[in-house]
Amino acid sequence: MSATETSNGGARGFWQRTYAMLVKEFLQLRRDRVSFAMIVMLPIMQLLLFGYAINTTPRNLPTAVLLQEDSDLGRSILKALQNTAYFRFTREVHTVAEFDSLLESGKVLFGVEIPRGFERAVRRGDKPALLVAADATDPVASGSALGALGQIAQSALKHDLYAGDPPSMPFEIRAHARYNPAAESRLNIVPGLVGTILTMTMLIFTALSVTREIERGTMENLLAMPITPVEVMLGKIIPYVLVGFLQATIIIGIGYFLFHVPILGSLSVLAALSTLFIAANLSIGYTFSTIAQNQLQAMQMSMMFFLPNILLSGFMFPFAGMPVWAQWIGEALPLTHYIRIVRAIMLKGASLENLQYDAIALSVLVLVAMSIAVTRFRRTLD
């Protein structure tokens, strides 16, 4: 055989072997349906979420009103607020305590107070004050709405006191940005990072737990032991609860000492609700580990679940500015409730009474996730 033939045979053999390897890889990919689904679904999910759900200029933000007098001017001001498209009145309260409680719990982002005798004071030229209180823990959500307040007086007065523009402003609007008056981003980001980091690490740790046992061949030894599925799950989950506490302590400690993020609420309440949050994520990760056939699939499922958590929870983008369908999805995610909890406790000093809704929601998610995890693990044993 000549040198030329040897060279051609070598080149032909190289491409034949490469082609065979390429075909083998495509066949393997086709058999791995979970990975193939992730390849298709991940870009679709990202496109839909960023295109439809994410809104950096949120509108129709939930607002409470404390109307201490029912007057034409007061109604015109409220109508002018609604016409800006930033404010949506969802609650009417009758006391200052109710007003403050709604802001602390996060049920509303704004509160408008029209004091008693407001219209009479305007007509006398006393220049009374109209209070607009804003929950500024998320500066992006509150900034645009507060910036639109200057146009409200002009719009309201044209209909009630003057035919055209008023010669001077007959009342003042006092905008009070509560909890983060300087709109510092670190006060918003650091508390949210507690939940985001815990979600990522807890999901990954437990998502690999069962698949790691299967790949190492130790699952058979585990199944031969006189132990129930619940005992196996608790034995695998409880150590990571302690790991989660350690991570949360480190993040909150760094936020407090290095970034000067205040902790105004009860640490014991924060610890108790953090337990619920960690348990929910560990149960979800454990469910993934019973579905996945290998560690790669478990990682892919974790990332697929983590993506909507970080986008729809209110961590990166204002939750109140999302469309209703995206908010419904967000309400089903543990991170949404935990971010509200940790921000409210650290920045607002909120109590457990203020956080009842999110605490109950987390408890329900824990029960559902644990039930699914135990059921899936029993099927794995069968």
- Listing DSSP states for 262-305 in one string gives ---S-HHHHHHHHHHHHHHHHHHHHHHHHH-SSHHHHHHHHHHH
| pLDDT higher than threshold 80 for residue 344 | yes
Domains of the chain with bracketed CATH: 18-54+184-376 (no CATH), 61-161 (3.40.1710.10)
Predicted TM-score (pTM) of the model is 0.84
**pLDDT for 8:** 52
146 vs 112: CA distance, rounded Å: 12
Q: What is the largest CA-CA distance in the chain?
A: 112
Report which DSSP code applies to 58: -
**pLDDT for 381:** 59
Which has the closest alpha carbon to 178: 232, 104, 77, 287?
104
Kindly list the strands in the beta sheet with 87-93, ordered across the sheet, starting from the edge strand earlier in the chain: 87-93, 61-67, 110-114, 129-135, 172-178
The residue ranking higher by pLDDT, 243 or 144, is 243
| pLDDT higher than threshold 70 for residue 138 | yes
- Residues 6 or more apart whose CB falls under 8 angstroms from that of 172 comprise 127, 128, 129, 130
22 vs 320: CA distance, rounded Å: 48
CB 142 within 8 A of CB 177: yes
**pLDDT for 155:** 61
| Span of 68-72, 247-251, 284-288, 303-307 with lowest mean pLDDT | 68-72
What confidence category does residue 74 fall into, taking pLDDT thresholds of 50, 70 and 90? Answer: confident
| pLDDT higher than threshold 70 for residue 185 | yes
**pLDDT for 337:** 96
| Span of 155-164, 243-252, 272-281 with lowest mean pLDDT | 155-164
User: Once rounded to an integer, what is the mean pLDDT over residues 59-64?
Assistant: 90
Measured from the Cβ of residue 46, the count of other Cβ atoms closer than 10 Å reads 13
Given its phi and psi angles, is residue 60 left (phi above 0), alpha (psi -120 to 50 degrees) or beta? left
Report which DSSP code applies to 181: T
97 vs 106: CA distance, rounded Å: 14
Over the stretch 262-290, which tens digit does the pLDDT of each residue have? 999 999 999 999 999 999 999 899 889 88
229 vs 151: CA distance, rounded Å: 63
Which has the closest alpha carbon to 194: 74, 95, 97, 281?
281
The two structure tokens encoding residue 320: 């109140």
Over the stretch 92-112, which tens digit does the pLDDT of each residue have? 998 989 999 999 988 999 999
**pLDDT for 281:** 93
88 vs 154: CA distance, rounded Å: 20
